[in-house]
A and B are shown apart, each in its own frame.
Chain A
Amino acid sequence: MSQPESAVADAQAGGRAGGATPKGESLAALAERHGLRRSIARPALPVYLRQLWQRRHFIITYASSRNVSKYSNSVLGQLWQVLTPLLNAAVYWLMFGLILGQKDKPGVGGNYTAFLITGVMVFTFTQRSVLGGAKSVSGNLSLIRALHFPRASLPLAYTLQELQQLGWSMAVLLAIVLVTGEPITWLWVLIPVALLLQTLFNLGASLFIARVGAQVRDMTQLLPFALRTWLYASGVFYSIQEQTKGLPDLLRWALEANPAAAYIQFMRDLLIYERVPDQWTWITCVFWAVCALIVGFLYFWQAEERYGRG
């Protein structure tokens, strides 16, 4: 029954359009004649970047609002931003430092506490950005289905949220580094550079994983394992150089070329070893930052009009 009726309705809609326009003109042609555009179309890259820039206030407010609301139900509130990585570091110190004896290995540089906490803080920043990015689109479907904005705002806001949290973690990290006997040097000037490079990488990774997470639902189950493997491979609680002694060079290179390991190495050079990072560390850090950002952004943008469908 509904079949012929809808046919009539369609014909009627066509009839209305046809009445106002030359006979036989299709709706698409009518739209074109009046300069109407398809409401769902992916904007060109420069336009998209401009739209994102126009939404900067939303991105910033959304990030800080999420930070405020996230801990609003716990007694210690915002303090957990710092407590969580510290507690993690304490567990690792006990397990790897004390029980497995990494504490006194020569590659660590004598100050295992600072070595470990630097690693944990730097890795946590990337880890949380990736985890947040994976959920940024799939966890905000109702927002995507209700309002119009460049979707890259979401992974961007999630990464920014992590960056805001990092502010606190960095303060604690620097305090611990000082307490454990490392001096303040001019190298600390390079800390913002290190964080900038890492943030760019995190942003790219977050954009990339956001699209994957939006299309592959099982991502959220799989991601924790992938991230834990990454954690173990990144030399957070051991020195890669020390542990890979006697193993093929290729393996060491592979481990050291890993972006997380490179950003950790960079920060440890500045805070603990008191030296300018060597050229390979620089090259790896810059390469990953630029590469991840470009690839991640393009990959995310290419599916812009499809987010929110399933």
Chain B
Amino acid sequence: MAEMIKERSHVALEGPQASQGAEAGKKTGTPTVIVDDLHIIYRVYGAASGHEKGNAANALMRILRRQGRPQMKEVHAVKGVSFVAYHGDAIGIIGRNGSGKSTLLRAIAGLLPPAKGAVYTDGQPSLLGVNAALMKELTGERNIVLGCYAMGMTPAQVREKYDEIVEFSGIDEFVNLPMSAYSSGMGARLRFAIASAKTHDVLLVDEALATGDREFKRKSQQRIQEMRKEAGTVFLVAHNLDVIEETCNRVIWLHKGKIKMDGDPAKVLAAYTKN
């Protein structure tokens, strides 16, 4: 443990100086995303816990006792995270399941309101994900149009990108069938193709690379690299550490909603795998 803290303070001391070396992008010095003491609290509506049986009499008693609903739980997913991301950064976010990675991304995208603290951004960060807008009963063709509009594209842009999306996804004639008829791999490919059709200032990628077959994985990784060149800053959440190592120049390790380590990929990943 002492070793790790030492390591971190080492990074901290180096901070701005290090940017002259490996983290060349930071030389420009303009921050694109500033996260300032961010707290995110989710409200979850779930079943009652074990000792409270979910019957009507208990519900009535609770109301009489003015206790509110026990089913409603607050989950403190991100607890006071602060960091500054600079132009040209590709930041990997790692951590165990439930450590708040996806929540942090959504907060940066401005999709989850902070309970405390703030996220400041240059331009509109966008999440690489369009799944929620698509409808499985509709054909691939309709879904491409719907997904593109959902990301805020104009009709002209949709016409321009349509063929490219179909080609990249490689679903060929399946484009005329409803998405419910697709294999899970095909669905994932189409979703990624739609989501990555738009260019972004700040791009947030959440586990998009874990889908599809090997060939498609290679293609999509290549696409992410291209997007990283176009975008000012890329955030990447992945469990696949190889992807992080190849793509990122900085890694943030989240643990139970807090930053455990932040710095050079080699060092953070080494500490993470040792953990």
Contact = CB atoms under 8 A, between A and B. Distances in A.
A8 B9 contact: yes
Interface string B134-170: 0101100010011001111011000000000000000
A2 B124 CA distance: 32
A9 B178 CA distance: 48
A16 interface: yes
A140 to B, nearest CB: 8
B152 A54 contact: yes
Contact of B256 (A2, A27, A62): A2
Interface residues of B, number: 72
Contacts of B210: none
A147 B130 contact: yes
Interface stretch (A32-40, A171-179, A221-229): A32-40
Contacts of A65: 135, 138, 142, 146
A10 B12 CA distance: 10
Given A27-B82, A148-B110, A2 B258 contact: yes
A40 B119 contact: yes
B9 A12 contact: yes
B256 A305 contact: no
Contacts of A147: 111, 126-127, 129-130, 132-133, 150-151
Contacts of A13: 82-84, 259, 262
Interface string A32-67: 001111111000000000000011011001100110
Interface in B52-105: 72, 79-80, 82-84
A131 B124 CA distance: 33
Nearest to B111: A145
Nearest to B178: A72
A217 interface: yes
Interface string A118-147: 000000000000000000000010111111
B113 interface: yes
Interface residues of A, number: 55
B262 A9 contact: yes
A16 B145 contact: no
Interface in B37-59: 37, 42-43, 45
B42 A5 contact: no
A308 interface: yes
B112 A12 contact: no
Contact of A146 (B111, B149, B255): B111
A30 to B, nearest CB: 6
A75 to B, nearest CB: 15
Contacts of B152: 54-55, 58, 148-149
A10 to B, nearest CB: 5
A144 B146 CA distance: 15
A36 B130 contact: no
B267 interface: no
A7 to B, nearest CB: 9
Interface in B221-270: 255-256, 258-262
Contacts of B150: 58, 62, 143, 147, 149
Given A61-B146, A69-B137, A309-B43, A9 B31 contact: no
Interface of B: 1, 4-5, 8-9, 11-13, 15-17, 29-37, 42-43, 45, 72, 79-80, 82-84, 106-114, 118-122, 124-127, 129-133, 135, 137-138, 142, 145-146, 149-152, 154-155, 178, 255-256, 258-262
Given A30-B31, A308-B112, 13 more contacts: A11-B12, A12-B9, A12-B262, A37-B122, A39-B109, A40-B111, A146-B106, A146-B132, A146-B133, A147-B151, A149-B150, A310-B43, A310-B72
Top 10 closest pairs, chain A to chain B, by CB: A310-B43, A39-B110, A31-B120, A19-B16, A6-B258, A69-B137, A36-B120, A9-B259, A27-B36, A58-B149
